[in-house]
A and B are shown apart, each in its own frame.
Chain A
C-alpha cells in the first residue's frame, strides 16, 4: 500500500493545475502513440488527396479515350495507367476514394449514433422498455437486407443517399445489441449507483458514465464496421443497386479489376492498395483511440 502512495506522490510534481478531462487526456495520450498518429496523418493526407486530386488532374474520371484502352502505368501521362474504357485510373482511384470514404465514415457514424443511443437507453432503463426495444431490433433483423434496399429503391428511386440509409439501417442493429449488453453489465457497477445516490439524473448518467465506459468496445466495433461497410457498398454496386457508372468507388474498381487481373493487373492493384492502406490506418487509429480513452492504460508509462 505504501509503495503506491510513494509512486503517486512522485508523479504529483508533473500534474498541471488546470482541470483535466477524459478528452483532453485522451488527446495528449493519442499524440504520443506513434502508430496512431502516423495512421491519422496518412488518413488526413489521403482525404486531402481524394478531395483535391481530381481537380488538379489533367484527365477527367468519366471521359473514355478509345485510343488508350488499358495502357499500363506511367505511359502517355497516365500515372496509374487506364482502365478497359481508357479512362485515367489515377483520377478514377481518387474519385472512387471519395465515395468509399464517404460511405465508410457516414454509414458507420449513422449506425454508431443510433446504435449507442438506442442500446444504452434500452440497457440502462431495463425492464419492459428494454424488452420492447430489443424486440423491435429483432423484427428489423428479420427483414432481409436486399429486400430492404430494393424496397427503398422502388419507393424513392435510385439515389446515393439511399445507400447510406440502407447500410446504416442494418448496421446500427449490431451496434445497439453490443452496446445494450455492455450497458447491462455497466449498470450493475457501483459507480453507477454512486451517481444515482449523488442525485445525477438518468440522462446524464448515460452520457457521463455509461457512454464513456462503452467507448473501448465501440471503437473496436467501428474499426471492424468501416471495412465491412465499404465492401457491402461494392456488393450493392455490383448488383447495380449502388454507385452507378461513370461514378465509381474502390469496391467497384476492385471487383472490376479482378475480372481483368491477368491482362491489366494495375486495374486491381491501385484501388486495392489504397483500400488496404485506408483500412490499416483505421485499425491503428482505432487501437490508439481505445488505449487513449482508458485512463488505466496510461499508468504503464
Chain B
C-alpha cells in the first residue's frame, strides 16, 4: 500500500440552525493515495460537497467539524490562520462548478493567476508570466500569452474552466478537489475537460477528489468510488466493483436509475393517425442592438427552418447543446414567442400569425412543463390554486367544490396526495414540485405536452420516477410529447423520433432506434461520443471522436454548414453552401458528406 496522502477518519460536519443541529456528514472515513482519483457521488443534500469543504477548511460560520483529517501528516481539523492558508491553495487546490462565478470579472486572467503565484511561490513579473503561459499551454489553451491579457467574460465556458484548472495547478498541489467541475458545461465540452483532467493527472501526478452527481462522469475518471446518501457513506471501493458488483441496496438503486445511452428501450410506435401538430419551416429571428449609435443591429437566428409533425401518443425528442434553439423551438410552437416565419398548425388551427388573445383559445390543448420545478410555481400560491389556474382561465363558473374535485383528481393522477393541496411549493421536494407542474399542465387534458428540460434539474432517482410517470401518462391519455433535453440518454428512454439541433438548425431527424444505433450526421456522432456511459470498463476503453472547440455564438454563426468549424470531416463545399435536409434511409440528414463518412 502506498503512503497515504489524505486520511479522513470519523469526519462529522454539522450546522447549528434555528431548528437545531443539522448533520450534513456523519462518520465519514476515506483515504486517498498520491496520484489517485476518488469519486464522491451522491444526490443533492447527500453531504458530498460539505465533506470536501471540510477538507479545505472552508466552513460556514455555523458549521462544526469533528473527527480527523490528516493531509501529508498534518492534522487539518482545528487548523486555522496562516498555516491553513499555506496548505490551502498551495498543497490542496479546488475547481468549482461554475467557472464564471469563481473568476473575478474585473481582473484579467494573468492578474488572477499572478496573485496565486505571488502569494504561494513568491514569483512576480516575467517569471510569473512564463509560469502562467506554461500552465495555460498544459491545459491546451491556444495562444496562451495573449489570453493572459483577457477578462473572464471574453472566454467561453470551457476555456474558463480550463483557466480554473490551470490556476489550481500553479502551485503543483498534491490534491485537487473538483466539485462538479463539468456540470455547468455542454456535453461535448464536458468530455474535453474530463479528458484534460485524466491527462493532467498523469503529467502532474496530482491526486483528485472528484465530486459529482453523474455516475457516467465518475465511471470514466475515477479509480475508486464513494457513494454517499444523507451524510453517510453507503459504499466505498474499487470503481469496477462499485459498478458491476454493488453491495448496498442504495448503490444498486442509483445505478438502475441512471439512464444509459446504450440501453435498448422498448418503445412501441403509436398507431398512425392525423398529426396533432404540424410545423413548417419555423423560424425565430431576433434583432440584437449593437453598441454604438450608428451600428446596425445584428440578426440572431435562434431558430431557422425547422419542420416537424407529431401524432397522438408519439414522443419527439429534441437534443442539442446550449444555444441550439431547443427552448426557442418549444416557445415558438407554443406561441410564447412570435415566429418570424413558417407555420404552426395545432389541430387544424394555424397559430403562427394569430394575435395573442386568439392564441389563448388553443392554450387548453397545448401545455408546457418547465426545467426548474420550483421556479415554475408561484411561491405565494397554494398547490390547489396553482393547479386550478388553467381551469379557472378556461372553465369559469365552476364551483369551489368542483374545482377542488378536479384538482384532487389531477393530483392523484400524477402521484400526489390530494391532502397536500393546501401546501405551498417550498414545502415540497424537487420531484414533487415537478409533479405539481405536470398536474397543472394536464388538468385541461391537453393534446400536446412540451417538456423543456423537465427532468434535468432533478436527482437521478427522482428523474427516473418522473420519466416513468410521463411514459405512463402518455400511454393512458394519448399525449403527443415534445421532450427537450441536453441529455441524450434520457431522450432515448422516452422518444420515438429524435431531432438533433445545432445553432438553430436541424442537423438530423430520425427514428430513435436508428439514430442511436447508427447516427449519420457528424454532429450527432460527436454528441453521442461525448456522453459518458456509467460503466467503467466500457467507458475507459471507448474510443471517443470528440468535437473540436465549443459552440460558437449564435450571433457569429459560420456560413454554409453551421457545424463545419467543429467537424472533422469538413471540406470546402461545407463552407460555401448550406446543406439541405436529405432523406437517407428513414432518416433526414443535413450534411454534404453523409454518403461518404
Interface residues of A (CB under 8 A from B): 1-5, 8-9, 11-12, 15-16, 19-22, 189-191, 193-201, 204, 208-209, 212-213, 293-296, 298-300
Does the CB pair B334–A1 fall under 8 Å? no
| Whole-angstrom distance between the Cβ of A217 and the nearest chain B Cβ | 13
Does the CB pair A194–B336 fall under 8 Å? no
Does the CB pair B364–A199 fall under 8 Å? yes
- Taking a contact as CB atoms closer than 8 A, the residue among A3, A19, A212, A300 that contacts B18 in the complex is A300
On chain A, the residues within 8 Å of B376 by CB distance are 190-191, 193-194
Known: A9-B417, A194-B368. 17 other contacts (CB 8 A): A1-B45, A1-B430, A4-B428, A5-B429, A15-B423, A19-B422, A190-B371, A191-B377, A194-B376, A194-B437, A198-B440, A199-B360, A199-B390, A201-B393, A212-B380, A213-B378, A299-B427
B43 CB-CB contact with A under 8 Å: yes
Query: From residue 311 to 344 of chain B, which have CB atoms closer than 8 A to chain A?
Result: 334, 336
- Taking a contact as CB atoms closer than 8 A, the residue among B375, B381, B421, B462 that contacts A190 in the complex is B375
| Whole-angstrom distance between the Cβ of B303 and the nearest chain A Cβ | 17
Does the CB pair B393–A198 fall under 8 Å? yes
On chain A, the residues within 8 Å of B429 by CB distance are 1, 4-5, 8
Kindly supply a per-residue 1/0 record for chain B positions 419-452, scoring 1 wherever the CB is within 8 Å of any chain A CB and 0 otherwise.
1111110111111100001001100000000000
- Complexed CA–CA distance, A293 and B380 (Å): 8
Interface residues of B (CB under 8 A from A): 18-19, 43-45, 230, 334, 336, 357, 360, 363-364, 366-368, 370-372, 375-382, 384-385, 389-390, 393-394, 400, 404, 417, 419-424, 426-432, 437, 440-441, 459, 461-462
Does the CB pair B389–A198 fall under 8 Å? yes
The 3 closest A-B pairs by CB, nearest first: A199-B363, A198-B390, A295-B424
- Taking a contact as CB atoms closer than 8 A, the residue among B357, B400, B462 that contacts A1 in the complex is B462
- Complexed CA–CA distance, A212 and B424 (Å): 14
On chain A, the residues within 8 Å of B43 by CB distance are 1
| Whole-angstrom distance between the Cβ of B170 and the nearest chain A Cβ | 38
- Complexed CA–CA distance, A234 and B258 (Å): 69
- Taking a contact as CB atoms closer than 8 A, the residue among B382, B393, B417, B459 that contacts A21 in the complex is B382
- Complexed CA–CA distance, A298 and B423 (Å): 11
On chain A, the residues within 8 Å of B440 by CB distance are 194, 198
With A8-B420, A190-B370, A190-B375 known to touch, is A201 a contact of B360 (CB < 8 Å)?
A: yes
Does the CB pair B381–A22 fall under 8 Å? yes
- Complexed CA–CA distance, A212 and B382 (Å): 13
- Complexed CA–CA distance, A83 and B43 (Å): 73
Does the CB pair A16–B378 fall under 8 Å? no
Does the CB pair B390–A15 fall under 8 Å? no
- Complexed CA–CA distance, A209 and B336 (Å): 18
Does the CB pair B404–A19 fall under 8 Å? yes
Does the CB pair B422–A213 fall under 8 Å? no
Does the CB pair A299–B368 fall under 8 Å? no
On chain A, the residues within 8 Å of B367 by CB distance are 197-198
Chain B: which residue is nearest A216 at the CB level? B380
| Whole-angstrom distance between the Cβ of B412 and the nearest chain A Cβ | 15
- Complexed CA–CA distance, A137 and B394 (Å): 37
- Complexed CA–CA distance, A209 and B45 (Å): 30
| Whole-angstrom distance between the Cβ of A245 and the nearest chain B Cβ | 48
- Taking a contact as CB atoms closer than 8 A, the residue among B379, B393, B421 that contacts A200 in the complex is B393
Does the CB pair A20–B382 fall under 8 Å? yes
| Whole-angstrom distance between the Cβ of B105 and the nearest chain A Cβ | 21
21 sampled A-B residue pairs with Cβ under 8 A = A1-B43, A1-B429, A2-B230, A3-B45, A8-B428, A8-B432, A19-B400, A20-B382, A189-B375, A191-B379, A193-B336, A193-B368, A194-B377, A194-B440, A197-B334, A197-B336, A198-B367, A198-B389, A199-B393, A293-B380, A300-B19
